[in-house]
Chain A
Amino acid sequence: MLDNFLNQFWPSTVDGLALGSIYALIALGYTMVYGVLRLINFAHSEIFMIGTFTSLAVVGAFGFSEIGGIALVGVVLLLALAGGLASGASAVALEYLAYRPLRKRGAGRLAALISAIGASLFLQQLFARVLIPWWFDVPQEKGALPVQGHFVVREDVFAIGDFVVRNDKLIIFLAAILMMVALDQFVTRTKLGRGIRATAQDPETSVLMGVNIDRIVTATFAIGGAMAGAAAALYFMRFEETNYFVGFLLGIKAFTAAVLGGIGNLRGALVGGLTLGLIEMYGSAFFGSEWKDVVAFSVLVLVLMFRPTGILGESLQQARV
């Protein structure tokens, strides 16, 4: 066990950071919506799924193939833009259709959670049963199968002993860090960002201070969705395939990452995502891949026992007593 762990340490570290970066970007959507609405947006995983299909469509439409080197960065940028737009728009539509009516009736969070689960099932099945069969012209029963679009040439960027870094993994990591920094700046420095923070802290007071809550909520969903769309583009570049339930497991993991880092906290999403990615890879190397999720959830419980609000705590809102 220890042998395995030691001789796979560096490859595990690289893969853990690449995986964790994707978790972190998806976790942003959970964390922002949670910060503002106190809602676990279960349908966020389907927002991500929509992003992966957008990437697939763009790759198909432009006929990309055998892309490597610096051109890959450009293509990923394009995919991220398209994915961000599609996912951001879907997230806003989702809020408008599934959550806003509940909010206007003053419904409890539990009702919103069920609505989210319903929306998640609906979107998954919409893709599996209607959109995928229509789009790829396959019989309906094949709608559940993965669809692919191969276009990436993988090459090693640099290698120091076992520490081999491949182009796709490097792009994912750097892109995630860049987007995090940009978002952090946006939330701390712009007027809209201040509005989001104010609403997260105290919705009633922010209304009295003239914040238009509906606009803030829309913006929150748009930003969270766009980040998931960008994550989807990176995911698609890495694995070049998707299916209708692609978001399910990633969504649960990303939410775990958000809680691990401290839900409602943007930097917490990054820390939580990367930590979770590394835990999974190290845990797999140590105990075998089948115990990956058990290790991840056990670490989550342990962390929460000692830090009940996650590694960095809740800071987008006030810390709860």
Chain B
Amino acid sequence: MKLGTSALRLIAMAGVASLALTACGGEDSGGGGDVSEVSIGVMGDFTGENSGIVLPIKNAVQLAIDNYNATSPETKIVLKEYDSQAKPEQATALAKKAIKEDKIVGLVGPAFSGESAQVGPVLEEAGIPSVSASATNAALAENGWKYWHRVIADDDVQGAGLGAFITTGLAAKKVFVVDDKSTYGQPLGATVKASSESGGASTQTDSIDIKASDYSSTVNKVKAFAPDAIFFAGYYAQGGKLLKQLREAGVTGKFLSADGSLDPGLAKGAGTKNADGALIGCPCLIDPEGTAGDASKTFAEAYKAKFNASTAIYSAEAYDAATVFINAIKAGKVTPEDINTWIATADFAGVSKQIKFQENGEIAADDVYIYKVTGETLPLLGNAKTVKDE
């Protein structure tokens, strides 16, 4: 509490300063209580190595806010972009700038879990609500943060869903779990291993090095174990290489992976011949054809029209995250505190799922979708709870 008030004073101070600045710029802000305009931030890796999966997030947020502003509402939203390049210390510095100088009232992001872990305390102390569309690390929800939310199921939910799918949907008896020792892959792999074991399968594990190319020691282990299913917890750049080396060594088990590998790059890396039939799970809904419902169809078409590209990973979730803030502002909430209170009660049908948060900021829905690699595309196979492969 003590910290909170001091932080608020700081914000107020910075706010006055920034108002003075905008006044100098000739913009009529009309004093401190004016709410004709508020700023929402979006943070993630827009130019770094992982920007491929973050740019659709930025686009979708842009789309949601542009659509909203086009309705000439009472309170317009200004979108501020913060390119953290997925580096935690850059992200925290940018977050402080966003709070002190840009006076954002809410943040979509940060995109990844690593940066979220360090930005979280900063936003918490400043009392700025955040909604991430893609940070899925399970431990994030255990920090007791009041201002932090995400519209995507975490890795524990995803891992449990995939483990259940492997043992029931695929009826696999021997499962080999490979992780990449990253902040994302290691806990996900551990959850899949645990839930496969509770589904009655025997398991073995090994890890690969993200920077290396030679995975033959892992391949030898997999080959010796001769599993029905191989689960890879990691990103597609390594997933493709691993899958290629496995198939070339004559390993035939079903290959599965999760959202980090949900990209055509997996098939490119492995070669389509090797990748065909691989199954990728994701708590996200990617539906460029709009087959999942009307909201999804409208969104897919609007996105295509604006960016001349199909919706991609996390774009639907990012659109929903932006909508959370838009709806709060529509409801007349313009301070961070009011918005955060509103978010706790939010309950509306988003593009990807029903948007309703739990106490700790997690989304209530726990759906995991399965995608099947076909050539270099990844068509939706169905919900992991019900779907069977072939």
* Direct A–B touching, Cβ under 8 Å: yes
Q: How far is the CB of B49 from chain A (nearest CB, A)?
A: 4
**A141 engages B47 (CB within 8 Å):** yes
Which of A106-114, A177-185, A288-296, A302-310 is found at the contact surface with chain B?
Answer: A288-296
**A146 engages B207 (CB within 8 Å):** no
B47 closest partner in A (C-beta): A141
- 16 new A-B contacts at CB < 8 Å, known A140-B47, A145-B52, A249-B212: A11-B220, A15-B220, A141-B49, A145-B49, A146-B265, A150-B271, A239-B245, A240-B244, A246-B213, A249-B211, A288-B205, A289-B217, A289-B218, A290-B181, A290-B206, A290-B207
B51 closest partner in A (C-beta): A141
Q: Is the interface of B mostly helix, strand, loop or mixed?
A: helix
| Other-chain contact of B217, A141, A235, A240, A292 (Cβ < 8 Å) | A292
Using an 8 Å CB-CB cutoff, how does the interface string of A223-259 with B read, 1 for contact, 0 for none?
Answer: 0000000000001001111010110110000000000
**B221 engages A15 (CB within 8 Å):** no
Q: Give 3 nearest A-B pairs by CB, closest first.
A: A284-B217, A15-B216, A141-B51
Residues 48 to 92 of chain B near chain A (Cβ within 8 Å): 48-49, 51-52, 55
Using an 8 Å CB-CB cutoff, how does the interface string of A136-151 with B read, 1 for contact, 0 for none?
Answer: 0000111011101010
**B206 engages A12 (CB within 8 Å):** no
Residues of A within 8 A of B217 (CB): 8, 12, 15, 280-281, 284-285, 289, 292
**B207 engages A289 (CB within 8 Å):** yes
Residues of B within 8 A of A239 (CB): 213-214, 241, 245
The answer to whether the Cβ of B96 comes within 8 Å of any Cβ in the partner chain is no
Q: How far is the CB of A138 from chain B (nearest CB, A)?
A: 10
The answer to whether the Cβ of B292 comes within 8 Å of any Cβ in the partner chain is no
Interface size counted on chain B using CB atoms at 8 A: 35
The answer to whether the Cβ of A188 comes within 8 Å of any Cβ in the partner chain is no
Residues 150 to 208 of chain A near chain B (Cβ within 8 Å): 150, 154
**B221 engages A148 (CB within 8 Å):** no
**A289 engages B208 (CB within 8 Å):** yes
A129 closest partner in B (C-beta): B47
**B223 engages A245 (CB within 8 Å):** no
| Other-chain contact of A141, B52, B216, B237, B248 (Cβ < 8 Å) | B52
Residue contacts A-B, CB under 8 angstroms, 26 given? A11-B220, A12-B217, A12-B220, A15-B216, A18-B216, A19-B216, A140-B47, A141-B46, A141-B48, A141-B55, A235-B213, A239-B241, A241-B240, A243-B237, A249-B212, A281-B217, A284-B217, A284-B218, A285-B217, A285-B220, A289-B215, A289-B218, A289-B221, A290-B207, A292-B209, A293-B209
Q: How far is the CB of B31 from chain A (nearest CB, A)?
A: 41
**A241 engages B213 (CB within 8 Å):** yes
Q: How far is the CB of B82 from chain A (nearest CB, A)?
A: 16
Q: How far is it, in angstroms, between the C-alpha of A8 and the C-alpha of B47 when the chains are bound?
A: 42
Residues of B within 8 A of A318 (CB): none
